[in-house]
Structure 1
């Protein structure tokens, strides 16, 4: 029986790509899920709208903003488990609007931490980080002890958020674990990420593939596996106070990924590197590869979906949802 069966769970960032997959997995685990959607006047549910109606009907969808401390205290109160995913994530936009990243990623995380500290019902908070905080790998695979390097305003804001979570554990004994996923991909990811960018161009019949740098490598992990890793950490008391990687333990370059998607889609076209898609030279993270020994030791979690199978599932979903993508322009 899942440790979550009948337990009250709160998810921030539930309307996002990974958040929607986590909500789906939590419902399947028997949890009573309250899902936070960023307030908008259209009453849009984000990617939660892509979840089958029979699953979504059991979810309590609430609106709000993690930058609002009063609202967060109200929504966290009485919840047994909190999964904190809400953040601004696009790296290119962080070069243009760093203040927004500090307000949401650091300030918003502080509000969640304060709310959880005041919540007597809390069993565990899973704070979600990112592998971008490591910068370019100084050793591979990357262990949790790897130095933190703020190579973009986005990664710097996430380092700040992670350190706030650490401080609340050390200062107040808050039962928080920091989950550090590597490059999650899958259905519902937008074209701000490289795999949907590649797949959308190929599936829309482009006669060339327009990308940024081709040599950087990433540890790509399928969304369902990332969600399962977060749930595994939520149920692991031994993980409290720790930072734990979630990744595949495999490394693929952007060019290798593009070639594999060409095979899967049957579209073989030349690749053109566009300058506007390049990060500033000292901001590019050239290599990411997760050391996943700790999560395996703590929880027994391992990834279940191969990279090729995950790409095939993703390409199939993008092919059925091309209306969400505009391959003609670079999405920041």
Structure 2
């Protein structure tokens, strides 16, 4: 990744799960990073507070909010590229607060796009989500699959992606839409299924409370997702700009089978209880997700290091090991369902 040696990359959502891993990978690739974290009175930088001092030497942290267009224009000044990850992502909370998802995911994205356009960046990576496809109408899911907003969250992300692509069409902005399937790994919020299971086992529980266990997912380990997003930054323009590209392991597994594999990895006997609060409304549940990742392989030169059954087991081992560290586990409320 020689082309990142002169890069100054603005990363929105850098305080989050995937964003903090992207910051680490960018610095390892030689880039300087301007990291946007959500302003708060605790002066918390989210997961960046746990990143090594060696990495943080190459990171300038600025606190603000993507919903403020003026803040975003000043944040993007002097940056060569933008990686846009900031978003509200919890599906259950989108039922409770859909307006917040429009404000952050749609209006916020427009602000980041306008700021990037103002700065004249050479590449803008828009982070999408497999949730925009809804339940698979065919598998594996290609990028041409219809977009179906089955939750306010997914609808807001469809709008966000389309805004980014419209800036490519309207203003020739060098936009790449990278669409990760379900990412998991160290630092993930416990509202996601894998950390929900691992954190409950790690805190001594053997009756695990879950929502639906029949839906299938294509789980990607977080370093694979981070590498794929960065590949969207570094791939030749003719192979990536104006494109939407899936990132996934190319492997499908049910939530129930995932719970069994975690139990095996953590050497625990589990009993699963259905928690009504964790169930999505019937027409909003995405029953099946399975990525066709051939475009990412061909056009980004990316492939998963944690693909298939074996890769998932290795990824779960790494994730469980991280959660078993008491300092990490202490950050989670295993007793509380976090929407």
SS in 1 for 2:4: coil
Q: 2:150 and 2:300 mapped to 1: Cα distance?
A: 31
CA deviations on 1:112-145 (whole Å, 9 max, x unpaired) are: 111111223x110001010000000001000001
Matching of residue 287 in structure 1 with residue 294 in structure 2: no
Q: 2:87 and 2:74 mapped to 1: Cα distance?
A: 19
Structural RMSD (CA)? 0.9
Look up the match of 2:323: 318
Choose 54-63 or 186-195, whichever is displaced more: 54-63
Choose 20-29 or 302-311, whichever is displaced more: 302-311
Q: 2:108 and 2:32 mapped to 1: Cα distance?
A: 23
Look up the match of 1:101: 101
Paired positions, count: 331
SS in 2 for 1:3: helix
Deviation at 1:2, TM superposition (A): 2.5
Q: 1:329 and 1:104 mapped to 2: Cα distance?
A: 25
Look up the match of 1:235: 234
With the length of structure 1 as denominator, give the TM-score of the two structures: 0.98
Look up the match of 1:130: 129
Q: 1:54 and 1:119 mapped to 2: Cα distance?
A: 28
Q: 2:275 and 2:74 mapped to 1: Cα distance?
A: 46
Q: 1:267 and 1:26 mapped to 2: Cα distance?
A: 37
Q: 1:328 and 1:12 mapped to 2: Cα distance?
A: 30
What are the residue-to-residue correspondences of 1:244-259 with 2, within 5 Å? 244-259=245-260
Deviation at 1:233, TM superposition (A): 1.2
Deviation at 1:322, TM superposition (A): 1.3
Q: 1:48 and 1:316 mapped to 2: Cα distance?
A: 20
Look up the match of 1:29: 29
Look up the match of 2:212: 213
Structure 2 unaligned blocks of 5 or more? none
Deviation at 1:42, TM superposition (A): 1.1
Alignment match of 1:331 (pick from 308, 333, 338):
338
With the length of structure 2 as denominator, give the TM-score of the two structures: 0.96
Q: 2:152 and 2:288 mapped to 1: Cα distance?
A: 18
Matching of residue 159 in structure 1 with residue 155 in structure 2: no
Q: 1:232 and 1:7 mapped to 2: Cα distance?
A: 14
User: Which consecutive aligned stretches of 4+ in structure 1 deviate over 4 angstroms post-superposition?
Assistant: none
CA deviations on 1:1-41 (whole Å, 9 max, x unpaired) are: 52111311110000000000000000000001100000011
Q: 2:284 and 2:86 mapped to 1: Cα distance?
A: 23
